[in-house]
Amino acid sequence: MASTAIQGLDVLYSRQQIANRVAEMGAQITRDFNGEKLVMVGVLKGAAFFLSDLSRAIDLDATFDFVAVSSYGTAQRSSGAVKLIKDLDQPIEGKNVLVVEDILDTGLTLAYLRKIFLQQHPKTLRIATLLDKPSRRIEKIEADYVGFSIPNLFVIGYGMDFAERFRNLPDICLMPPDSSE
């Protein structure tokens, strides 16, 4: 593993690896929706970087909306309780919806969002996640588009944080054991 200049962190995926994979995912999504309109729903705050890059890699008429949920607080482990902090601004009934998430971990957040979004009767509902941690899954849910599958590691950077820190790192890095200060 390489080391990033910021604080000597170990890099799991470099900005170039991320860019290459996001471009591949965007091309696949473009093919799958075949010229149809798309509503991209970013899950704040972690997916902001991924949504921004992914949207530029998709050659479709796309609009954005955002939801905010919380299940972590300031801990490294999910609390298990998902709380909706910000709901959609626009109705999604009859629309192609792509939920864009930074990491699919326990599945609690995405299972919760899938349930409330399906109640609004979208035409299609698909999920894109940059990272997938299948070993931690509690809820049975899979993403339609996955950037990278990773083992049970706590990662930071490219939008992912620890207690709101490290989101601005351009690479996806391993959380150092002594960073909880």
Task: Give the domains, in start order, of the chain with CATH numbers.
Answer: 15-152 (3.40.50.2020)
Query: Residue 5 pLDDT more than 90?
Result: no
pLDDT tens track for 22-72: 999 999 999 999 999 999 999 999 999 999 999 999 999 999 999 999 875
Please compute the mean of the pLDDT values over residues 140-153 and round it to a whole number.
97
Per the annotation, the verdict on 61 as an active-site residue is no
Query: Residue 79 pLDDT more than 70?
Result: no
> How many other CB atoms are there within 10 angstroms of residue 144's CB atom?
15
Average pLDDT over the chain, rounded to an integer = 91
Instruction: Please tell me which residue in 105, 132, 161, 171 is annotated as part of the active site.
Output: 105
What is the pLDDT at residue 125?
A: 98
Query: Which comes out higher in pLDDT, residue 101 or 76?
Result: 101
> How many other CB atoms are there within 10 angstroms of residue 68's CB atom?
13
What is the pLDDT at residue 181?
A: 47
Per-residue tokens: 62? 């796309």
Question: Exposure of 82 by Cβ count < 10 A (0-12 exposed, 13-18 middle, 19+ buried)?
Answer: middle
Query: Residue 13 pLDDT more than 80?
Result: yes
124 with 97: CB under 8 angstroms? yes
Per-residue tokens: 88? 């959609």
Query: Residue 74 pLDDT more than 60?
Result: no
Q: Would residue 7 be called left, alpha or beta, if left means φ above 0 and alpha means ψ between -120 and 50 degrees?
A: left
pLDDT tens track for 92-121: 999 999 999 999 999 999 999 999 999 999
